[in-house]
């Protein structure tokens, strides 16, 4: 692509003096560049397309990185990356060794925080502003929120702690009326009511402007004038949500009108109190397919750049989430007591079909992970409803106390469907689901299971409510095998031997069983035979079967796509030491203590030493298997 303007930009300084006409041309070029790269790589397309003019205006008005632009989530930051010196490397976004798909401080001084979870920007920004004031600096702090951030409790907690005397603090609310899917809950109606009362907004703005024009009366009159303005607005609009928190509301502003955006942002810079600028944008702006279908184009797959249509999948296999969603619908059709809860992940967790068929039994509570878990606990109270709480592993981290206090301690049989368990691929360190076993394992009565294939996932879903206790079923977002044959009733804590051998025991979790079987084949070429055990349950372990196998196996290997510090390997090691098997040689394979960055699933597994070839080589090195076999 040829870009006469974008290619000349190394930093925002390069376009800060450009006239509006050139900035509008720049917006077109930014969209073309984003579409060009996303067509190949896939990524967060619709949100970034919607934030192009807003990003240009922010960088024109504020002097980043001295002024702190703090994005609530990286879904909307591709234009920001392109304008801050990363155009030349943007083709590698979300690729192995390439740019992160989110803000990343290691990439650029313009990125101040990792931002992969929604709702944190306002809290962080308040802390940054307090740091600025305590150290007597004067830069602007500008958190840029998505409207879905208002459904996140952390944002409301930050609003509750905002002081009226906070200076040089401008909140930008990028309102595209969606998170990943359409926004839910009462908060969205507050914004709608603000939009439906232009009279109150006009009166508010005119009175503020009048007071500011009166000379020589100082800050006291300005403060009184603001109180009068709020009182008038109260008379004609019930939507004074933000003013009640001590933050002045300005808007709504057309988020695709660069001149208007610049004028408003320049105007509010002089305020000596916190201001919220409400900006209206359209998710997918500039690309017909993304504009008409913002949900699938939020995290877009590679697509035909001419038509905008997604390219066909390279695999005909169903993914674990799709198998989960399909079977949840089937279970809901057969059982009217089954309900599902999700925190704004209905599309990603493949619950949309259930939500359409049974809207009264499928609940999207917005970006409110803690609430979703506690709400699920309340639904499960009394035992009349069968409750499935569907969360991504990385987001379950935000609901740790709710899982413990409101489900486990209450002994409520909520089933947790933990999606995206494992390495996050292109989403990188902000989204890896490799810690949940560690924090769930310490909770009394919690069951933790992971299926190796789609059939086993269905069997665990069918059996989970018979366990009568909190149960976590974790699975990755990858293609899943779907073996044929009748369903098996999965007893609690029962493992399964997939292959038998005599020289070592390989215990592999979930889909890593297939890696273990490949390792077994590679070892067999050197005359080494291995038993492969799928534990299915990491809590409780099948201690009876494990003890039987340890009679004839003196070497144990664990393989998992989880933090090796706190996952299957740690649990097996503890079992061996606790039960007197300290003489057993053990090698643990998993994700080391590092922040795994973006890349393809295959590339990252290989980099982490979790490919069949690298596991086999390590086993030969650590256990001297050839020598051991020769000695027999």
**Which tens digits make up the pLDDT trace of 460-503?**
999 999 999 999 999 999 999 888 889 999 999 999 999 999 99
Least confident window among 52-56, 181-185, 458-462, 607-611:
181-185
Q: Is the pLDDT of residue 237 over 70?
A: no
Residue 236 confidence (pLDDT): 43
**Which tens digits make up the pLDDT trace of 532-561?**
999 999 999 999 999 999 999 999 999 999
- What residue ranges do the domains of the chain occupy? 6-116+128-142+164-174+248-300, 320-474, 496-631
Q: Which of 588, 545, 586 is nearest to 565 (CA)?
A: 588
**Which tens digits make up the pLDDT trace of 79-134?**
999 999 999 999 999 999 988 888 899 999 999 998 888 889 999 999 999 999 99
- 621 versus 182: the higher-pLDDT residue is 621
Question: Can you tell me the mean pLDDT for 185-211?
Answer: 48
* Domain 6-116+128-142+164-174+248-300: CATH class, spelled out: alpha beta
Q: How many secondary structure helices (H) and strands (E) does the chain include?
A: 24, 19
- C-alpha 310/C-alpha 302 separation (Å) is 6
Question: Can you tell me the mean pLDDT for 242-252?
Answer: 85
Alpha-helix residue ranges (DSSP H) falling in 381-507 = 393-396, 400-403, 436-441, 454-463
The distance of Cα 193 from the centroid of its chain, to the nearest Å, equals: 29
Non-local (6+) Cβ contacts of 631 within 8 A are none
- C-alpha 579/C-alpha 568 separation (Å) is 16
Least confident window among 182-186, 236-240, 400-404, 428-432:
236-240
Q: Which tokens in the block code for residue 218?
A: 């100082």
- 68 versus 4: the higher-pLDDT residue is 68
Q: Is the pLDDT of residue 239 over 50?
A: no
Q: Is the pLDDT of residue 206 over 80?
A: no
Mean pLDDT of all residues in the chain? 88
**Which tens digits make up the pLDDT trace of 270-314?**
888 999 999 999 988 888 888 888 888 887 888 888 888 888 877
Element at 322 (helix H, strand E): helix 320-334
Residue 550 confidence (pLDDT): 95
Residue 228 confidence (pLDDT): 53
Residue 302 confidence (pLDDT): 87
Alpha-helix residue ranges (DSSP H) falling in 84-139 = 121-134
Active-site residue (options: 283, 452, 455, 539): 283
Residue 200 confidence (pLDDT): 46
3-state class (DSSP) for residue 248: strand
Residue 216 confidence (pLDDT): 53
Q: How confident is the model at residue 193 (pLDDT cuts 50, 70, 90)?
A: very low
3-state class (DSSP) for residue 215: coil
Active-site residue (options: 29, 53, 243, 369): 369
User: Does residue 369 have an active-site annotation?
Assistant: yes
Q: How confident is the model at residue 629 (pLDDT cuts 50, 70, 90)?
A: low
- C-alpha 55/C-alpha 76 separation (Å) is 9
Q: Is the pLDDT of residue 624 over 70?
A: yes
Q: How confident is the model at residue 627 (pLDDT cuts 50, 70, 90)?
A: low
561 phi, psi to nearest 5 deg: -100, 70
The DSSP output letter for 466 is G
Q: Are 245 and 164 in contact (CB under 8 A)?
A: no
- C-alpha 158/C-alpha 245 separation (Å) is 10
Q: Are 89 and 99 in contact (CB under 8 A)?
A: yes
- 23 versus 307: the higher-pLDDT residue is 23
Instruction: Indicate if 320-474 has the same CATH topology as 6-116+128-142+164-174+248-300.
Output: yes
- Cα end-to-end span (Å), the chain: 65
Query: In this structure, is the dihedral angle defined by the CA atoms of residues 298, 125, 177 and 151, taken in order, positive or negative?
Result: positive
Residue 12 confidence (pLDDT): 94
Non-local (6+) Cβ contacts of 232 within 8 A are 200, 203, 204, 207
Domain 320-474 sits in CATH 3.40.50.970: yes
Q: How confident is the model at residue 194 (pLDDT cuts 50, 70, 90)?
A: very low
Q: What is the CATH number of domain 496-631?
A: 3.40.50.920
Q: Please, what is the angle between helix 320-334 and helix 454-463, to 10°?
A: 40
Residue with the two structure tokens 């041309």:
25
User: Does residue 132 have an active-site annotation?
Assistant: no
Q: Are 53 and 261 in contact (CB under 8 A)?
A: yes
DSSP result, 561-595: EEETTTSHHHHHHHHHHHTT-TTSEEEEEEE-SS-
CA distances 298 to 41, 147, 173, 281, 621, Å, are 13, 15, 18, 14, 45
Question: Can you tell me the mean pLDDT for 136-151?
Answer: 90
Q: How confident is the model at residue 192 (pLDDT cuts 50, 70, 90)?
A: very low
Q: Give the sheet arrangement for strand 68-71, strand by strand.
A: 68-71, 141-146, 170-175, 275-280, 248-254
Non-local (6+) Cβ contacts of 237 within 8 A are 193, 194, 197, 199, 200, 201
Most confident of 52-61, 187-196, 220-229: 52-61
Residue 551 confidence (pLDDT): 93
Q: How confident is the model at residue 6 (pLDDT cuts 50, 70, 90)?
A: very high
- 244 versus 238: the higher-pLDDT residue is 244
Q: How confident is the model at residue 235 (pLDDT cuts 50, 70, 90)?
A: very low
Active-site residue (options: 398, 420, 455, 469): 398
340-355 as b/e, with b when 16 or more CB fall inside 10 Å?
bbbbbbbbbbbbbbbb
Residue 215 confidence (pLDDT): 56
User: Does residue 398 have an active-site annotation?
Assistant: yes
Least confident window among 223-237, 297-311, 597-611:
223-237
- What is the pTM for the complete model shown? 0.86
Alpha-helix residue ranges (DSSP H) falling in 1-120 = 20-41, 45-50, 52-61, 78-83
- C-alpha 334/C-alpha 312 separation (Å) is 33
Residue 467 confidence (pLDDT): 97
Least confident window among 45-59, 199-213, 555-569:
199-213
**Which tens digits make up the pLDDT trace of 343-381?**
988 988 999 999 999 999 999 998 899 999 999 999 999
Residue 1 confidence (pLDDT): 44
Residue 364 confidence (pLDDT): 93
């Amino acid at each position: 692509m040829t870009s006469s303007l974008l290619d000349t930009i190394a930093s925002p300084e390069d376009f800060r003096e450009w006239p509006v006409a050139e900035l509008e041309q720049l917006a077109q070029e930014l969209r073309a560049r984003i579409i060009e790269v996303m067509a190949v790589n896939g990524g967060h397309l619709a949100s970034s397309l919607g934030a192009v003019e807003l990003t240009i205006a922010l960088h024109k008005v504020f002097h980043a990185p001295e002024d702190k632009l703090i994005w609530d989530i990286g879904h909307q930051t591709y234009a920001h990356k392109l304008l801050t010196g990363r155009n030349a490397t943007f083709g590698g976004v979300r690729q192995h060794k390439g740019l992160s798909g989110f803000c990343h401080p290691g990439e650029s001084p313009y990125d101040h925080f990792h931002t992969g979870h929604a709702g944190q920007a306002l809290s962080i920004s308040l802390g940054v502003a307090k740091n600025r004031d305590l150290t007597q600096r004067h830069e602007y702090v500008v958190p840029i929120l998505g409207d879905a951030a208002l459904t996140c409790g952390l944002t409301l907690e930050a609003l509750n702690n905002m002081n009226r005397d906070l200076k040089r603090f401008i909140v930008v609310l990028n309102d595209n009326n969606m998170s990943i899917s359409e926004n839910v809950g009462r908060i969205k109606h507050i914004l709608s009511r603000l939009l439906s009362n232009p009279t109150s907004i006009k009166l508010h703005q005119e009175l503020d402007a009048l007071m500011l024009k009166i000379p020589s009366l100082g800050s006291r009159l300005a403060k009184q004038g603001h109180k009068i303005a709020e009182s008038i607005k109260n008379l004609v609009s019930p939507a004074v949500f933000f003013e009640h928190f001590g933050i002045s509301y300005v808007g709504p502003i057309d988020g695709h009108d660069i001149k208007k955006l610049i004028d408003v942002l320049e105007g509010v810079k002089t305020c000596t109190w916190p201001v919220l600028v409400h900006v209206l944008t359209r998710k997918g702006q500039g690309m017909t397919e993304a504009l008409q279908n913002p949900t699938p184009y939020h995290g877009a797959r590679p697509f035909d750049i001419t038509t905008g249509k997604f390219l066909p999948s390279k695999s005909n296999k169903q993914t674990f989430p799709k198998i989960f969603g399909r079977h949840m619908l089937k279970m809901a059709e057969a059982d009217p007591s089954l309900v599902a809860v999700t925190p704004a992940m209905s599309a990603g967790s493949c619950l949309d079909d259930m939500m359409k068929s049974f809207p009264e039994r499928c609940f999207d509570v917005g970006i409110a992970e803690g609430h979703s878990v506690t709400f699920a606990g309340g639904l499960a109270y009394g035992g009349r409803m069968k409750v499935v709480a569907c969360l991504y592993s990385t987001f379950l981290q935000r609901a740790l106390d709710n899982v413990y206090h409101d489900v486990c301690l209450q002994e409520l049989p909520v089933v947790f469907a933990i999606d995206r368990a494992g390495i996050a691929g292109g989403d990188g360190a902000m989204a890896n689901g490799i810690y949940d076993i560690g924090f769930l394992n310490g909770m009394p009565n919690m069951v933790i299971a992971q299926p190796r294939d789609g059939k086993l996932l269905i069997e665990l879903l069918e059996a989970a409510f018979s366990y009568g206790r909190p149960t976590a079923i974790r699975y990755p977002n990858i293609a899943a095998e779907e073996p044929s044959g009748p369903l098996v009733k999965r007893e609690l804590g029962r493992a399964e031997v997939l292959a038998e051998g005599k020289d070592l025991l390989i215990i592999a979790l979930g889909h890593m069983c297939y890696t273990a079987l490949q390792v077994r084949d590679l070892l067999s070429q050197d005359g080494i035979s291995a038993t492969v055990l799928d534990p299915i349950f990491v809590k409780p372990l099948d201690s009876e079967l494990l003890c039987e196998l340890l009679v004839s196996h003196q070497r144990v290997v664990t393989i998992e796509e989880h933090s090796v510090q706190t996952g299957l390997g740690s649990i097996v090691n503890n079992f061996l030491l606790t039960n007197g098997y300290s003489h057993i040689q053990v090698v643990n394979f998993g994700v080391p203590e590092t922040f795994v960055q973006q890349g393809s699933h295959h590339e990252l597994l290989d980099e982490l030493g979790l490919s069949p070839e690298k596991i086999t080589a390590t086993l030969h090195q650590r256990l001297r298997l050839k020598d051991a076999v020769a000695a027999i």
